[in-house]
Amino acid sequence: MQAISRFTENFSHVLKAPINIGVSQKLLNLALKYYWCLGIIPEPPHCPVDRIIQQRLYKQPLVNWTQLECADTYLQIIQDIRCKAKESQQSIAQWELVNFDRR
């Protein structure tokens, strides 16, 4: 994710704004999730992190994923998801698929 953020900083003159870690993880993880659900790739190691997923974790305070700049914060959320997924004997990707629902 940090590589994507650095890439966007280098091309900020073309992009509307630099893409931070939060937006980077969401874009990459959503693409992987959809490719996985379509059977194009194997199950991904992470999942998209957003407000809905944080609410399912009962994470407080909620981290605004569009403004997430710290890789450690992102990795802590992934660790929290890993713990929840383990409780239900699921992978991270499976747990997110079950717990995410559109409003």
Q: What is the pLDDT of residues 36-55, one digit of tens each?
A: 999 999 999 999 999 999 99
pLDDT of residue 101: 75
- By residue range, what is the domain housing residue 91? 2-99
pLDDT of residue 59: 79
Q: Domains in the chain: how many in total?
A: 1
pLDDT of residue 7: 59
Contact 101, 53 (CB under 8 A): no
Provide the token pair at 102. 């559109």
94: Cα within 13 Å, side-chain hemisphere: 10
Kindly report whether the global pTM for this prediction surpasses the value 0.75: yes
Q: Show the low-confidence residues of the chain (pLDDT under 50).
A: 103
CB-based burial of residue 103 (10 Å sphere; 0-12 exposed, 13-18 middle, 19+ buried)?
A: exposed
